[in-house]
Amino acid sequence: MVFSKAEFLYYFLPITLLVYYLTPMPGGSTRYRNLTLLLASLVFYAWGEPKYVFLMAAQCASAWVFGLLIHRYRAKSKALMLLSVALSLSGLLFFKYANFFLTNVNHVTGAGLPLLRLMLPIGISFYTFQTMSYTIDLYRGNVEVQRNLFDFSTYVVFFPQLIAGPIVRYIDVADALGGRRHSLSQFSRGARRFIIGLAKKVLLANLLGELVDIFKKGDDKSLLFVWLYLVAYTLHIYYDFSGYSDMAIGLGHIFGFSFPENFNYPYIADSITDFWRRWHMTLSSWFRDYVYIPLGGNRVAPLRFSLNILTVWMLTGFWHGADWNFMLWGLYYGVFMLIEKHLLGAWLERSPMFVRRVYVFLCLFVSWTIFDGNGLQDTLTTLTGMFGLGGGGLAGREALYYLRSYMVPILIGVFGSTPVPKRIAQTLSHKKAFLVVEPLALALLLLASTAFIIDGSFNPFIYFRF
């Protein structure tokens, strides 16, 4: 089940909200409401993948038990923490990467090992990182042990952030699990955020995704169409993922939780380093705190520092998918981080903002080509076409037709990826008319999104495969 489906919007969510707010809070305790959220989240997950509920439950129970052991046996806490992390990673490595390793062993040795018939459990990359962060933080003394299995399971499987993030650490929600307040203003803020995220996903990401799909399936590989594809995909992946994050954060508010932000207008970045301070921020901070710093961070010799950067970014790419394209994508960013650190940093600071933005977008277009490529050959074909070396000419009929057809959503997408709309809304929020205009605008966005959903239009979600 995904948020941008009618069964979620008009069946699952209303029923869950009704049951949740009817669940009593004796003495202000949220324990019963946590149990309601846990049961609803299990239904949400089982809706699409019932057999993998048991895998997720086992991982929850394992991390919870190890948490108790780490708390009780401090002398052996490091060994217990490492064992817990290994067990959490084992499921991810098996389901997500087993066939990748088997394929490459077969390619190198000709062994002919049969591939496993496995489907990737939805959300496993996210909830694995959540359980790992809990036991690591507990070992470090950053969080208190959670003695209630149901409360801990609610943290791990809570449906708003279960399948696509943001990556929520236990420390982010520990207080709210124990007791939280609900208010109409918080509910309204959450509903507003959810509707905006839904509109970003359905009205922009899906529409731009159609253009991406058309380019991939079509024969026109002219220079214009390649660049039209690059712009469309760059906007598509942003609105797809940030829209889903907005919906998750909004739902968190509705149920009394405060999730960390995941995006901060990444396309206004003036360097690649700045871009990754703004894009998928919870993933970047996770790798920083649990991989980069334990490796020594930047407090090591220059060669070791470079190795740390490349290791972290290779793992970041590999986290996104079991394919060489993703590893190349991660290393690509690692190399640019080092280039900016040692060579380009001072030049970028002296350069006009326009030059910095052009530099960032050229880097991003290449990176998204690698990320979206179906194998290295497909990536190379698109990259050569990007620089006019693909032999497709300057502009074919299809390219001109789709440029006219999708110009409006592209322009809206470019405008919406900047802070300008938010600033306009903040300025208008002081006007009395805004009290009427905002609810009406949100209702229209919800109505339009519903119409697109019911119409059965293009509605995939990129990060499901991660």
pLDDT at 381: 87
Residue keyed to tokens 């990359």: 125
Q: Is residue 457 very low, low, confident or very high in pLDDT (cuts 50, 70, 90)?
A: low
- Cα distance between residue 153 and residue 149, in whole Å: 6
Distances (CA, A) of 339 to 43, 141, 199, 343, 360: 47, 36, 38, 5, 13
- Cα distance between residue 32 and residue 39, in whole Å: 11
Lowest-pLDDT choice from 160-164, 233-237, 276-280, 456-460: 456-460
Tell me the whole-structure pTM to 2 decimals: 0.93
Taking 90 as the threshold, does the pLDDT of residue 460 lie above it? Answer: no
- Omega within 30 of 0 (cis) for the link into 166: yes
Taking 90 as the threshold, does the pLDDT of residue 58 lie above it? Answer: yes
Choosing from 236, 253, 280, 320, which is the catalytic residue? 320
Is position 253 annotated as part of the catalytic site?
no
Q: Is residue 9 very low, low, confident or very high in pLDDT (cuts 50, 70, 90)?
A: very high
- Cα distance between residue 230 and residue 216, in whole Å: 11
| 369-407 residue pLDDT tens | 999 988 788 888 889 988 888 777 888 889 999 999 999
C-beta of residue 115 within 8 angstroms of C-beta of residue 152 = no
pLDDT at 462: 60
Q: Which two tokens stand for residue 91?
A: 């499921």
Q: Is residue 466 very low, low, confident or very high in pLDDT (cuts 50, 70, 90)?
A: low
Average pLDDT over residues 78-89: 96
C-beta of residue 246 within 8 angstroms of C-beta of residue 193 = yes
pLDDT at 442: 95
What is the chain's mean pLDDT, rounded?
Answer: 92
Which amino acid, one-letter code, is at 90?
S
Q: What single-letter DSSP state applies at residue 39? A: H
13: region left, alpha or beta (phi > 0 left; psi from -120 to 50 alpha): alpha
Average pLDDT over residues 247-265: 96
Which amino acid, one-letter code, is at 420?
V
How far does Cα 285 stand from its chain's mean position? 13
- Cα distance between residue 364 and residue 315, in whole Å: 19
Instruction: Write down how long the chain is.
Output: 466
- Cα distance between residue 339 and residue 297, in whole Å: 17
Q: At 219, phi and psi to the nearest 5?
A: -100, -15
Taking 60 as the threshold, does the pLDDT of residue 465 lie above it? Answer: no
For the chain, the structural domain boundaries read 6-180, 186-465
Radius of gyration from C-alpha coordinates of the chain:
23
